[in-house]
Amino acid sequence: MLSAKVLSAIFTPFYLPVLGIVILLFFSYLNILPMMYKIMILFIIFIFTVLLPTALIGFYRKYCGLTHFQLSIRHRRIVPYILSCLCYLCCVYIMKALHAPHFVTTMVLTALIVQLVCALINVWWKISTHMAAVGGVTGALMGFSMIFIFNPLWWFCLLMIISGILGTARIILRQHTLAQIVAGFLISTVMSFLLVIIL
């Protein structure tokens, strides 16, 4: 149980898009960019996709007097989804204003669209955002491997291992059913793959 909690905290949905950006900046043609520029881009993305959403959702939870478990109930996830999506939207705007590399902006925009779809599904049925985040990185990796023509096998294997461990942890914690885990991963993987190819 403790291991499942730790894994859920480490592989929180907010950190995984940052992992995707790191892979993109350091393992594609974008690695030719100056190091300070890459660090600046990562810092801005970290603020708007990890730090701000986490802080705002934490403030909302404390303001409403909710526990982590109470906040995970489907109808109480609407405000956290809205806060997170607004932060991602601001990040996309800033990336465009700074004329960041197209594929970096695409990655953030893809993460935003996946969140919006998860939020819409959440109105009727609880879906795993943890698995949606891993699926988003997996789909984006496959899309970028086609665009940049590289072999993503090792990264793909790593993401599959993370997906399996994380999905198991979420079931152990009784946060999701197997159907919610699989749906979150598959919907996000397909969507992010198509969005990377199209955008």
Per-domain residue ranges of the chain: 2-198
Tell me the average pLDDT across 41-58. 92
Q: Which residue type, as a one-letter code, is found at position 106?
A: T
CA triplet 110, 137, 165: central angle to 5 degrees?
Answer: 140
What percent of the chain has a predicted confidence (pLDDT) above 70? Answer: 98
Q: What is the DSSP string of 33-101?
A: S-HHHHHHHHHHHHIIIIIHHHHHHHHHHHHHT--HHHHTSGGGSHHHHHHHHHHHHHHHHHHHHTT--
Say yes or no to pLDDT of 187 above 90.
Answer: yes
What values do phi and psi take at 88, rounded to 5?
-65, -35
For 4-31, write each residue's pLDDT tens digit.
Answer: 888 877 777 878 778 888 888 887 788 8
Indicate whether this model's pTM tops 0.95.
no
Whether the Cβ atoms of residue 163 and residue 177 lie closer than 8 Å to each other:
no
Among 53-57, 66-70, 125-129, the range scoring the smallest mean pLDDT is 66-70
